[in-house]
Amino acid sequence: VQLQASGGGLVQAGGSLRLSCAGSLSTGTNYIVGWFRQAPGKEREFVAAINWSGSTYMTNSVEGRFTISRDNAKNTVYLQMNSLKPEDTAVYYCAARNTASRRTVPTQNFRDYRYWGQGTQVTVSS
């Protein structure tokens, strides 16, 4: 499985960005795809995830501002980020893990994800 994250950049506070995670995910296997972020000097943290049935999960700090979605035809997962804040500044990574069920609730522990993209920098200026 290969994942390619893109869409990061520099934006002013209150602005928006859309991150994309293009993956070579087999249609015969269930996956959870998640977004994590890591700011300098901090541990990698969970941002959002979507399971194979389409249920989405967000961390509290981005609830109402970020949306995760999936385009099956393009094999791509998106993270739409609105009302960005300086504290959202980080390298954003997409990750995936196999699951037995389409409805498995995503774990928020980055160590549980096997496949990782290369990361894309998001910088929000105040």
- What is the tens place of the pLDDT at every residue in 45-99? 999 999 989 999 999 999 999 999 999 889 999 999 999 999 999 999 999 999 8
Give the pLDDT confidence of 25-38 residue by residue, as tens digits: 776 788 999 999 99
First to last CA, the chain: 37
What is each CA distance from 80 to 53, 58, 64, 69, 88, in whole angstroms? 19, 12, 11, 8, 13
Q: CA-to-CA distance for 90 and 8, rounded, in angstroms?
A: 10
